[in-house]
Amino acid sequence: MTRVHFGRARIFALALAISGCGNPVPDRSETRAPLSPDSIPDAYARPSGALIAAGATRGFQVDEHGDLYDGEWKVVFTPTADGQPATPPRTIAALDRWRPVLQWVRHAGDVTWEFEAVAVPERAPRDTVLVVSLLVRARNTGAAPHRAELSVTLAPPDPDPVFVAWDARDNPRVALRWASGTARDTALAWCGEKVTGATFTAATTLAPGAVFERRLLFPTYPTADHLLARHARFSHARRVSEALQSANAALAGGTSFALPDSEVVSAMNAARLLLLACRERRGGAWVPIGNPFQYRDVWLRDGARVAHALAITGYGSAAREMMAGFIGFQWPNGAFLSQRGQLDGTGQALWAFEQVLLRGARPEELDPYIAAGQRAWRWIEWQRTAGRTSGTREGESVQTLRFGTMLPFAEPRDGELVRAQLTGNDAWAIAGERALERMLRARGRAASADSVARDRARYTDDFIAALARTGLDYVPPSWQGIGRDWGNLAVGWPCAVLPPGDPRLAATARRAWEQAGEIGLTVYGHRDSLHGYVGNDLATWALLTGWTAPADSMLDAMLHWRTASGTAAELFSRAGDFGRNLPPHPTAAAALLAQVRNRLIYDDIDTLRLTLGARRSWWQGSQVKGAPTWWGPIDLEFQHGNNQVTWRWTPVPVWTVLTLPPDAILTGPPPAPLVAQGRDRVLAPPGTREATVRAVSPTN
Amino acid sequence: MIAIAAAVVWVTRREAIRGTVVSPIDSLDAQTAFAQGGRLGTAGRHVASIPYFRRATTAGMGEQWEGRINLAAALINAALEVDSRLGKADPALRSSYERVQSVVDGMGEARQAMKVARDSRARAYTAYQDAQNLQAWGFAWDALAVAQVAQSLDPAWEPPRRLILELQRDLARGGVAP
């Protein structure tokens, strides 16, 4: 039986078979049960972890030795048993691979040294500082007594540090001092007792089965002794419990993704918490940072992706605060630029304004961004006019510039890694003009929107003509044909300069995947340098063409290439070596979130697309609640069983395209007013809230 | 009551002391501040030179082209300054947010300098500096337009002409080296 309901029909709850989608806080009772972080996989060659928080201007990296480093000093741990040093940790894992509590284990013969750490943010306005609460526990797992000794040393950074905090002091260097209860001084660590020098030592003889533990505190900035003592009044268990509850509250504040796919849900949880943590305050605005460690800076190219990912996964407020930060990157000429030579910033800023603000901002909130966008639009068009009307003199004649209608050359020192006219800059500029047009229409300013639309149409025509002049059948990184694949991969999605079916997009993807030797993940510069996120634009473009294999491959790769705390690196070898490009990378997290959300709910056009790329397992029954779209927040439920496919969703005032499960095809025409679109898609008219069709999977 | 009153007095005094704390730079006369800013700028310490040049403008050089243009240059150069911290070379300013703000402030100071420039060479220099700044950040067409302004302000001065030729050549080649 095929059913369809319209209008005010009741929504009945689907019988969902969901596992691994809830976020219960683990029992943190003081059981002293052994930690088992090594059971959590880590795809990379060496472990690492991040103890970070939103607003904090430093974080602690937990390195492969199990030491802490905040960009100014190190905390070096030397656990031993009977004088034998403990091994370095195999993994540094987050609880459930996403919760903000890190655990790692080091072994010294029969003695197991367990470490558990959690970042405790201060309240604003002191939220630039965070304090790490760390519990060290030695456990004698043998049959004989052992002497366990722990040394913790405050030390200067390595001679060639991977990163240094922007406000680290060179002269004089920070005093490597432990807090003592009464001193009126600042310290870098607290252990609850007086320590002379930079090293704290504790030792005991452990009987078989016995446990010995110490609690330690490490602030990211020198902190007054009495403040550390005040922190110490709250137990480690309480700090852990607070962090777990805070993380759950943060996730509850966004879109709920209840999928029967615990790996995806876990990865999304880690990704969302990372994006929320990688934010710094600038006055009343917030800016997204490129990484908590070596890329503690702001790039519009990364920030736009982060803001977009937050906006489409239910964090509109946080994303809007970032847009206020983006305004600080507008130059007097109207362009947006964060780093020298990165001219894609203008289009990316406008695109981010649209993506964030048209999903839930109050209409009047758009106005300052429209004003900024109009200045940017005039700058873009002035560039094109300058190029169009210029030429080179050759004898008596003047030759127009070959790519004069495109943005001028630039040297981004990143991405394409070349000095040339970059196709991605133009693709983003076109996307930016489209974004401005939509914002103007949203405010009822049709005449202004029409002006922008005319310019965008001309720009798109010029882009296509320029492509033809390259003589290439794909979109090259630059109009001159040189450079590394980067912005050119965004031409299909999200820039939508060419329609998904354009053969040049397929050729661009094919070329990138051939270089990688696989479909999905792409490489950067070298066949052995895998890139964690840039290929996601191709994967999403493939989804839009109805080709799910690249997106499946990309998602599989993004799920595989995770640390034990659930986050990803930007660049790494096939052997998993990320070198000095430390995880976690927010843009990789943003790519994962965008892909999963777009597979479920895709609204970046005038049609709502549901289950565009829902994986087979998700059809056991999935539920999404509170997903922001152009038409307001929507809920979605879908299920496939007994040759019947059912969707229920919040009605929207536009047509909805429903994609059937992988390999499933309609067994006949869907009931009116549903309309079949091929054998694997169904169109539902505006206002529809439920659809059921009969479908079979021929492969079954 | 006495204790409360004492606390109020203590807090009030503390706030008063905070309110009166001034930087030693703020006590310098314009010429001393300007000279010190110049020394720091010449040594490549542009971030450090900013408060000195700022002091010079507030202490009497605000209507002088030299005061404004040097503050502008310090702000613009600060965004490109590299500093060594704990043995690692990094941008001197915290992030691109601060760097862009610094350049935009510097461009604002350059506009002020243009207003108080006493001759065409000073006006041409101001525009030329602006063009170089735009070129450094990747705005080739903007740089060319401003360089042409600089040339028009003082046609006999060579640097703008050279910059124009360089930009025209690069724009024609799409930035690619021959």
Provide mean pLDDT across the span A447-476. 98
Q: Is pLDDT of B1 > 80?
A: no
Q: Please tell me the predicted confidence (pLDDT) of residue A19.
A: 37
Mean pLDDT, rounded, of chain A: 94
**Chain A residue closest to B165 (CA)?**
A392
Provide mean pLDDT across the span A365-370. 98
Q: Is pLDDT of A29 > 90?
A: no
Q: Is pLDDT of A469 > 70?
A: yes
Q: Is pLDDT of A23 > 90?
A: no
A145 prior amide bond cis, ω within 30: no
φ, ψ of residue A487 to 5 degrees: the values are -65, -25
Provide mean pLDDT across the span A300-317. 98
Q: Which of B90, B137, B172 is nearest residue A401 as measured by Cβ atoms? A: B172
CB A241 within 8 A of CB A29: no
A476 prior amide bond cis, ω within 30: no
Provide mean pLDDT across the span A622-647. 97
Q: Which residues contact A249 (CB under 8 A, 6 or more apart)?
A: none
Beta bridge partners of A80: A85, A149
Provide mean pLDDT across the span A165-173. 93
Q: Is pLDDT of B61 > 50?
A: yes
A437 or B23, higher pLDDT = A437
Going through A6-129 in order, the beta strands assigned E by DSSP cover 49-51, 60-62, 68-69, 74-81, 84-85, 93-94, 102-108, 111-121
Chain B residues in contact with A167 by the CB 8 A cut-off are: 94
Provide mean pLDDT across the span A462-474. 98
- At A654-684, the pLDDT tens digits run 999 999 999 999 999 999 999 999 999 999 9
Q: Please indicate whether, in this complex, the C-beta atoms of B176 and A342 are within 8 angstroms of each other.
A: no
Q: Is pLDDT of A25 > 90?
A: no
- At B82-109, the pLDDT tens digits run 999 999 999 999 999 999 999 999 999 9
Q: Which of A280, A331, A401 is nearest residue B171 as measured by Cβ atoms? A: A401
Q: Is pLDDT of B11 > 50?
A: no
pLDDT tier at A457, thresholds 50, 70, 90: very high
CB B68 within 8 A of CB B62: yes
Q: Please tell me the predicted confidence (pLDDT) of residue A122.
A: 84
Q: Is pLDDT of B5 > 50?
A: no
The count of C-alpha atoms lying within 13 angstroms of the C-alpha of A642, restricted to the half-sphere facing its C-beta, is: 4
- The Cα B84–Cα B80 span in angstroms is 13
Q: Which of B137, B172, B175 is nearest residue A420 as measured by Cβ atoms? A: B175
Name residue, tokens 């020098």.
Answer: A197
Provide mean pLDDT across the span A61-72. 98
Chain B residues in contact with A296 by the CB 8 A cut-off are: 95
Radius of gyration, CA atoms only, chain B: 21
- At A574-594, the pLDDT tens digits run 999 999 999 999 999 999 999
Q: Please tell me the predicted confidence (pLDDT) of residue A392.
A: 75
B100 touches chain A (CB under 8 A): yes
- At A382-399, the pLDDT tens digits run 999 999 999 877 777 878
Q: Calculate what percentage of chain A has a pLDDT beyond 90.
A: 90
B residues 60-99 closer than 8 Å to A (CB): 84-88, 90-91, 94-97
String of DSSP letters for A591-621: HHHHHHHHHHEE-SSSSEEESTT--GGGGG-
Q: Which of A387, A392, A412 is nearest residue B141 as measured by Cβ atoms? A: A387
Element (H, E) at A176: none
Q: Is A567 helix (H, G, I), strand (E, B) or coil?
A: coil
Instruction: Return the closest-CA partner of residue A334 out of A367, A382, A286, A298.
Output: A382
- At A505-540, the pLDDT tens digits run 999 999 999 999 999 899 999 999 999 999 999 999
Instruction: Return the closest-CA partner of residue A208 out of A265, A144, A262.
Output: A144
Chain B residues in contact with A387 by the CB 8 A cut-off are: 141, 171
Q: Please tell me the predicted confidence (pLDDT) of residue A43.
A: 98
Q: Which residues contact A506 (CB under 8 A, 6 or more apart)?
A: A545
Q: Please indicate whether, in this complex, the C-beta atoms of A392 and B104 are within 8 angstroms of each other.
A: no
**Residue A594 has which token pair?**
């965008």
Q: Which of B103, B145, B174 is nearest residue A420 as measured by Cβ atoms? A: B174
Provide mean pLDDT across the span A45-69. 98
Q: Please tell me the predicted confidence (pLDDT) of residue B65.
A: 98
Alpha helices in A253-366 (DSSP H): 262-277, 300-312, 316-326, 345-357
Q: Please indicate whether, in this complex, the C-beta atoms of B95 and A289 are within 8 angstroms of each other.
A: yes
Q: Please indicate whether, in this complex, the C-beta atoms of A337 and B138 are within 8 angstroms of each other.
A: yes
Q: Please indicate whether, in this complex, the C-beta atoms of A170 and B86 are within 8 angstroms of each other.
A: yes
Between A268-282, A476-490, B11-25, the lowest mean confidence (pLDDT) is in: B11-25
Q: Please tell me the predicted confidence (pLDDT) of residue A9.
A: 32
Tell me how many residue pairs between chain A and chain B have CB atoms under 8 A apart: 121
Provide mean pLDDT across the span A539-560. 97
B1 touches chain A (CB under 8 A): no
User: Cα-Cα-Cα-Cα dihedral of A545, A551, A553, A556, to 10°?
Assistant: -160
Stated pTM of the model = 0.94
Q: Please indicate whether, in this complex, the C-beta atoms of A339 and B104 are within 8 angstroms of each other.
A: no
